Chains A and B, each alone.
Chain A
Amino acid sequence: MNAPAENVLDIRNLSKKFGDFTALDNLNLSLRRGQILGFIGPNGAGKTTTIKILVGAMRPTSGSATIAGADCVRDARRIKRLVGFMPDTFGAYDNMRVREYLDFFGAAFGIPRRARTKRIDEVLETTGSGWMQDRYVEALSHGMRQRVGVARTLLHDPEMLILDEPANGLDPQARIEMRDLLLKLAGMGKTLIVTSHILPELSRICDVVAIITQGKLRAFGTLEQIMRDLRQRRTFEIQLCAPERVETVASAVREALEPGERDSVKAHPHESLVRFDTARSDTELSVILAALVGRGLDVAQFREIPKDLEDAFLSVTRREVPAA
């Protein structure tokens, strides 16, 4: 273990365009050895694009990425040895048993036969898939395939594992098992990049989380940091007795807030509710409340909406959606 604090992954100003469409916009990320990065964003956010650039299957339009000092564009061969990559599709072959499948990929990485046999036993053991070694790959269930897929990425003992949506489509039990497997791999000293379109799915086991939407990085840091940032911008609800004055209250709140926060004010006449996000302190908020009551508006309740992980994710991913 040399210098555990150094960065294994460095992504600098990475952009990717498909014609006019910007799939990745100036991405900056770094990751230290042995960490698990949760790379999270809704479908079409640009996660797979980023990963494909990292493993050398796509060229960035601009910017650069290095893994353990190897450039993802120029040092393609070194990257292949450093990285174990599991794409979001499995890649089954007909008429092949799990063991033969792993044997083929082991041989493709040039592992000598003796060592390969031993290595296959090890990765089957690690991923808990030894019992299916004689099954045919095309007949495996989804959960079994994901395990075999992880086993395959481990064959050449790479430093870093990049797994695209490993928990996608798994049932709750299999998802827990996948989480345990990822923790086990991190325990073996691997650096992991794991993508998901659902934040709570994996984020609890991640050391760092990157949230990406529409090709832009929205939040990056430990889960606590992100949550703290998000909590600074709290959500409040004003419950009125009757729906008639909802619009009046909404415009009064809008006037009292900073210009940047005004868009978040939403009137919900059906529920007699006004909802808004703000970074203001409690004292400042009490002034707004007093003003509303002073104008004779019938406020029944003024409450803060507690946020969980999912809300945090939604509020981040919703925030900068451009107006249609």
Chain B
Amino acid sequence: MIPVFTREFLGILRAPRSIWALLAAALAFSSLVLARWPAGDLVDLSGSGSRGAFLVFASALLGGVLLLVPAFPATSIVRERNKGTLLLLLNSPLTGRAIYSGKFLGVLAFAGLMLCTTLPAAAAVYAMGGVDPLRQIGLLYAVLAVVAILATTIGLLVSTRAASPDAAVRITYGLVFAVAFLTLAPHALTKGTNGIYALISQWLRRLSPLPVVMHLVGQGGSVGGGILEKDSGVWQFLVAGLGLSAVLAVATMLQLNHLLFDRSRDQGKITDDQSTLVRWFRRLVYLVDPQRRKSGIPVFLNPVMVKEFRTRRFGRFHWLLRLAAVCAVVSLLMTLAATNGTMDWGVETIGGLLVILQIALVVLLTPSLSAGLISSEREGGGWNLLRSTTLSGWRIASGKLTSVAWTMLLVLAATLPGYLVMTWIKPTMWNQVVLALISVLLAVAMTLAVSAAVGAFHSRTASATVTVYVVLMLMYLGPLVVWAFRDDPFGRPLVERALLITPLGAALSVIGMPGFAQYQLLPAAWWVAGITCIVALVVFAIQVWRLLKPE
């Protein structure tokens, strides 16, 4: 176990990205606290200023752990398997358990190091007064440690199963965010009801660190004993998180053996060679059969674009159709729920939820498609082949970008029925819907351009994907965090400026989502998005040109 641990830990430390992560964490947290430091010499005894600082500190820490930690375990095993060193480890006297613990502790040691860089900031928050060192700050770190453990076990499990490092990164981030945020959704829907669903959703909610951290922050005034009382959820979260981690860890250890290498290659079965019956059956099931022999790429299409669709698992038509169908159904259901009055949401709230659904799709899907546009070619050796063809840099760049743009437009088009029903219920909303849709389109363009540009500077798809997700989460969730604290620490001008960063705020405000309606964001938000988009595209084009030119 010791050799695996040292190698893992040192390996992480040697990577430039970890140094950046550490530096960024230390810098961000010290500047955060400095910015909130009381202006006068007097310590504010009521503690409201420091509570604000603690709130910002805690949410930033949670965000930092959720964004940075999963990247390391996610690539850890799959990269070793693909490079062949995992086979060497398995052939050594080390057991699966020892390999697992070594990797697990290596990643955790790094996470611990990162948390340590934030301790000075925590001390500063404490020095401002009004925050309990043990029951608030101490428990906050305990909660964060469990979040890190959970993220690590999820990442390692995904890493043993995934086919490539970048797939592992995507799936791990998806799961970690699902555990952190999606677990809250059922509870939000069943709140106030009784029965088995309410109970299950109550339990699911325990897995999310979000309510726990909010609770710790909110308890500033009554240090008395409120935190440890039964329904604060802190202990339940710690127990549930550690329990789930243990289950995941055991599941992963059981898989760490030679069977990982016992996978058969795809023999390339093709529908065209099968009987008519099978062919018709497959046509009915898939509509567009993925295993049918493709016809050649038509001359009027950019071959790079077609190639991008064909090489993506989810770029194949049958998957796009499924995705579009799911989006259409969800958007319709949401709107119908509003018309039936089963939930007393206004049309504006439904509109807001539709916007959030669309933007969430954009932010989650776009990077997985566009972060690796260039790096996957460089990684797989395709870049040298592309360079040796007569394709111009312009065709390569535009083919790649349009392949993502079409996919996203298709997915978004599928969510349009929801808006149609909405304007049918309340025809006066037509204008707002158009403005919101323009904002969403701008969000697509900006997200695509930014993730392509940021990803193009990486030679590995896994690290490109991580960086792009971190950048986008900061861009999209950052303003929302500021918005969430619009009354207490932050004032209206700051919130308004923060919401300008992404078109999400503009879309929500024009559709009239409660809480956003009061901000005037258009047309400034469009200008910001448009300029960001253009700058990112130029950067992307320059990087493509640089990579194509002779060394």
Contacts and interface: CB of A to CB of B under 8 A. Distances in A.
B311 interface: yes
A93 B307 contact: yes
A302 interface: no
A80 B299 CA distance: 19
A241 interface: no
A200 B406 CA distance: 53
Interface in B275-323: 293-299, 303-304, 306-307, 310-313, 316
Interface residues of B, number: 37
Contacts of B550: 56-59, 73, 76
A57 B296 contact: no
Interface in A117-146: 117, 132, 134-136, 139
A73 B550 CA distance: 9
B386 A139 contact: no
Contacts of B303: 104, 107-108
A93 B299 CA distance: 21
A105 B384 contact: no
Given A57-B550, A57-B551, A108-B304, A95 B310 contact: yes
Nearest to B384: A87
A92 B381 contact: yes
A100 interface: yes
B296 A136 contact: no
Contact of B270 (A105, A109, A110, A134): A134
Given A57-B551, A108-B304, A113 B297 contact: yes
Contacts of B269: 134
B385 A135 contact: no
Instruction: Give the dominant DSSP class at B's interface.
Output: loop
Contacts of B312: 94-95
Given A91-B381, A107-B296, A134-B293, A96 B310 contact: yes
B267 interface: yes
A79 to B, nearest CB: 9
Nearest to B302: A107
B193 interface: no
A77 interface: yes
A89 B384 CA distance: 9
A277 B316 CA distance: 66
B388 A110 contact: no
Contacts of A4: none
A59 B551 CA distance: 6
Contacts of A132: 268
A116 interface: yes
Nearest to A139: B265
Size band of the interface chain A makes with B = 35 or more
Contact of B298 (A76, A80, A104, A113): A113
A80 B268 contact: no
Contacts of A57: 384, 387-388, 550-551
Given A107-B299, A108-B304, A94 B311 contact: yes
A83 B391 CA distance: 14
B194 interface: no
Contacts of B388: 55, 57, 80, 83, 85, 87
A244 to B, nearest CB: 49
B266 A136 contact: yes
Nearest to A78: B390
B389 interface: yes
B427 interface: no
Contact of A109 (B273, B298, B389): B389
Contacts of A106: 296
Most buried by A among B310, B381, B384, B388: B388
Nearest to B273: A134
A136 B268 contact: yes
Contacts of B268: 97, 132, 134-136, 139
Nearest to B551: A58
A159 interface: no
Given A104-B297, A134-B268, A77 B390 contact: yes
Interface in A27-62: 52, 55-59
B493 interface: no
A99 interface: yes
B382 A91 contact: yes
A97 to B, nearest CB: 6
B384 to A, nearest CB: 5
Interface in B239-281: 265-270, 273
A316 B399 CA distance: 49
Nearest to A91: B381
Given A52-B551, A107-B296, A108-B390, A87 B311 contact: no
B77 to A, nearest CB: 20
Given A57-B388, A59-B550, A87-B381, A95 B296 contact: no
B380 interface: yes
Nearest to A112: B299
Interface-central residue, A99, A104, A132, A152, by most chain B CB under 10 Å: A104
A136 B269 CA distance: 9
21 contacts: A55-B388, A57-B387, A81-B390, A87-B388, A90-B381, A91-B384, A91-B385, A93-B310, A93-B382, A94-B312, A96-B307, A97-B293, A100-B310, A104-B310, A107-B303, A108-B304, A110-B299, A113-B296, A113-B298, A132-B268, A136-B265
Given A58-B550, A117-B296, A139-B267, 19 more contacts: A57-B387, A77-B390, A80-B388, A87-B384, A90-B381, A92-B380, A92-B381, A93-B307, A93-B382, A103-B296, A108-B304, A109-B389, A109-B390, A112-B299, A113-B296, A132-B268, A136-B265, A136-B268, A152-B385
Interface of A: 52, 55-59, 73, 76-77, 80-81, 83, 85, 87, 89-97, 99-100, 103-110, 112-113, 116-117, 132, 134-136, 139, 152
A-B residue pairs, 5 tightest by C-beta = A107-B303, A91-B381, A89-B381, A135-B268, A139-B265
